[in-house]
Structure 1
Amino acid sequence: MKKEVIHLSLTLLLLLGHNSYAQEVTKTALDEKTTELFKNSQILPIQLNYSNKHIKRNTNDSTYVSSELSYKLDDGSWKTLKMKIRARGNNRLKNCYFAPLKIKLKKKEVAGTLFEGHKKLKLVLPCLRQEDNNDNILKEYLAYKLYEVISPYHYKTRLVTIDYTDQNGNREKEHTLLGILIEDLDNIAARHNGAIIERSLHPLTMDDLCAAQNDFFQYMIGNTDYSTAYQHNQKLLFIDKKIIPVPYDFDMSGLVDASYATVPTIEDTSLHITSVTQRLFRGFQRELSIFYKLRESFLGKKTEMLDVMDRLEVHFDNSKEFTTARDYMLSFFEVLQDSEKFKSEILQKARIK
């Protein structure tokens, strides 16, 4: 798959500019373009063997180390693939015990396997060695699945159970973890016949509906740790003459409410909230019709989103974690259903700069 990257000119941005009448994005029949790895929603058992300390200390954006990934086949046997890995995620790398991974795979190595069609993947691991680590992974996975309900422009994800052997010199330590495999941005671009935008752009140059949809979603999960302008926990795609944001990394959200999560400072801007569970709408002002259209759209998808959540309940180690997360979601819909709250918490909080 050839990566296509574009750099938009000022003229093109002005032509595409503020599209108040952007057509509503609806789900389309894209299943045939989804790889086998992400067509199946069952949890995939995998095995990993590497040094967590070495990965954290000795890899960077351009430095990978060789390793192997084994995954369980339907007949109970295991298939092993050669791969290269590095640590990723500045915040998690700084604050977490387990480093999240970027995985590189060779086309020849994955041909005819479950991983065919993937040259790069991300693997999200629990941050810390603590009781709620797997539940936090479930809640972050939930955020990805909720965005699938909201927008067709999303990352495909799959839960994995990981038998991980951490090598430390002559010592080995075994860990059983839950993780999230995430497809690469190239796959999303290819699925929609789009291109990747690498430069920084003002949010008001983006498609009105898609950008506001993203902002509503971030408010729903209580996430302020993002910036579409600077592509912080966001990527930009150019699809059908529209600039579309695609969000990722939700561990700092109120929905996840991780023990290490703190209110971020975005581009030296301090937010006037004291806890990640406090919601703050970070979107820009747009045509009111866009906001009201999205209000109805989110309310119309309430049952579907709660169903997505309820199907994950059985996997939670602590039922209280699930109940708290579900109540948090319900509080979002209460804001949408109450006209005064919708006005004060969203419409009046929309940014002008």
Structure 2
Amino acid sequence: MADDQTTAKESPLFADNELLELTITAPFTNMMRERSADEEAAATLSYRDVVDGEVVLDVGIRTRGRFRKQKDICTFTPLRINFKKGATKGTLFKKIDKVKLVTHCRDGSRRYSQSVLREYLAYRILNTMTDDSFRVRLLHVTYIDTNPKKRQREDFAFFIEPDDRLEKRLGLKVQDIPKTTISSLDGAHTNLVSVFQYLIGNTDFSPIKAPEGEPCCHNHVLLGTRNDSMLSIPYDFDMSGFVDAPHSAPNPRFRLRNVRIRLYRGRCMNNARLATTLQAYTDRKADIYTLLSGLTQLSDQTRRKVKRYIDDFYATIEDPKRVNARLQEKCI
């Protein structure tokens, strides 16, 4: 049963960071063949509750995404789960209407499985730095196919906090505008996020605009306002060097050799805040390494790689000459 002490603004699903075991039963073969963004398939989602035992929910499910929805990229796409109104009362999914599920992309790939964990860890690092970020919940999912062959697969995945739950938790509204300006954003939060994107080696984003025809912003959600400023909150880190997914490729705009090469995309107008921002990351250094060591599902090899990547970040921000050359002088 969902915790009755969970606040009215908080979903019990995202109030806990323990690994959640789920089973989802759906016509996955048909879904992965058709990849419809509009048609929902009937499915069931089940998990075990310490009080109520097995909890089974009837849900709708559909494929989602853009890049990872392409058949030559992922054989198993990200998913969106739609809960029936009123059906989640008293369950872990209380307060959840629809929720995004980040999946493993390709069956039987250890590297893709580890990439899911790495992307989850990236979200958790940002959560450690600021509450003004998307919460996530790590899962181990058994996928049961209702098609005749009934193929079963298991892998790691994670849920991303829905926009409406983020709105409730932060007391802000998603802004439906095509673009904005850096000066309209909260400077301290923007700087914190810019350094986070540098930490994870990500250049696939814009906090102020999106490709034509898409809502603002590119791999960011715009919320407002607080103290006359908006927040631009990032998501989708699979193209980062931190995640290093097999399908990732460097942004051709920047002529980087590979995704693991960092490029700072912070704003020059916020350079005066940089020392304070970097000190915040130094203050949370032990917490970030604790997150890494505590994610026991990572392989030893992956853990070593991620640790080296984080080590390199701290070697940079703790050296004034490197800060000047790699961050301050690279601002835009």
TM superposition score normalised by structure 2? 0.90
2:248 corresponds to 1:261: yes
Aligned to 1:213: 192
Aligned to 1:79: 55
2:9 corresponds to 1:33: yes
Match of 1:278 among 242, 261, 268: 261
Question: Residues of 1 paired with 2:126 and 2:205: CA distance?
Answer: 15
Deviations 1:192-216 (A, max 9, x none): 1111112122333211111121111
Report if aligned partners of 2:11, 2:165 keep a CA contact under 8 Å in 1.
no
Paired residue total: 315
Cα distance change of structure 1 residues 32 and 289 upon mapping to structure 2, 3 Å threshold: farther
Root-mean-square deviation (Å): 1.8
Question: Residues of 2 paired with 1:65 and 1:197: CA distance?
Answer: 30
1:184: Cα distance to partner?
0.3
1:88: Cα distance to partner?
1.2
Question: Residues of 2 paired with 1:274 and 1:188: CA distance?
Answer: 36
Cα distance change of structure 1 residues 227 and 60 upon mapping to structure 2, 3 Å threshold: farther
SS of 1:250's equivalent in the other structure is: coil
Identity of aligned residues (%): 25
Deviations 1:81-119 (A, max 9, x none): 111111111011111111111111123111111100111
Cα distance change of structure 1 residues 295 and 325 upon mapping to structure 2, 3 Å threshold: same
Deviations 1:253-288 (A, max 9, x none): 1111111111135xxxx1121201000111221243
Cα distance change of structure 1 residues 203 and 288 upon mapping to structure 2, 3 Å threshold: closer
Which residue identity is paired with 2:246? S
Which residue identity is paired with 1:288? N
SS of 1:155's equivalent in the other structure is: coil
SS of 1:81's equivalent in the other structure is: strand
Match of 1:128 among 90, 93, 106: 106
SS of 1:128's equivalent in the other structure is: coil
Aligned to 2:292: 309
Aligned to 2:225: 239
Question: Residues of 1 paired with 2:46 and 2:81: CA distance?
Answer: 13
Deviations 1:310-348 (A, max 9, x none): 111x212x3111110011011001110111111111111
Deviates more, 1:181-190 or 1:196-205: 196-205
SS of 1:109's equivalent in the other structure is: coil
Aligned to 2:283: 300
Question: Residues of 2 paired with 1:254 and 1:204: CA distance?
Answer: 28
- Indicate the structure whose relative CO is greater, using CA pairs within 8 Å and at least 6 residues apart: 1
1:51: Cα distance to partner?
2.9
Aligned to 2:21: 45
Which residue identity is paired with 1:34? E
Report if aligned partners of 1:107, 1:117 keep a CA contact under 8 Å in 2.
no
Deviates more, 1:51-60 or 1:182-191: 51-60
1:53: Cα distance to partner?
3.9
Question: Residues of 2 paired with 1:111 and 1:75: CA distance?
Answer: 15
Aligned to 1:350: 331
Match of 1:338 among 315, 319, 322: 319
Deviations 1:128-185 (A, max 9, x none): 2212232111111100100001111111111111111234x42121111111011101
Deviations 1:222-251 (A, max 9, x none): 111111122121101003232101111111
Report if aligned partners of 1:222, 1:253 keep a CA contact under 8 Å in 2.
yes
Report if aligned partners of 1:226, 1:233 keep a CA contact under 8 Å in 2.
yes
> Where does 1:97-246 land on structure 2 (aligned, <5 Å)?
97-129=75-107, 130-167=109-146, 169-199=147-177, 200-228=179-207, 229-230=209-210, 231-240=217-226, 241-246=228-233
Question: Residues of 1 paired with 2:37 and 2:284: CA distance?
Answer: 38
Question: Residues of 2 paired with 1:181 and 1:37: CA distance?
Answer: 9
Aligned to 1:5: none
1:62: Cα distance to partner?
3.6
TM superposition score normalised by structure 1? 0.85
Cα distance change of structure 1 residues 138 and 210 upon mapping to structure 2, 3 Å threshold: same
Deviates more, 1:224-233 or 1:72-81: 72-81
Match of 1:324 among 281, 293, 305: 305
Which residue identity is paired with 2:168? A
Report if aligned partners of 2:76, 2:106 keep a CA contact under 8 Å in 1.
yes
Which residue identity is paired with 1:256? V
Which residue identity is paired with 2:120? Y
SS of 2:218's equivalent in the other structure is: coil
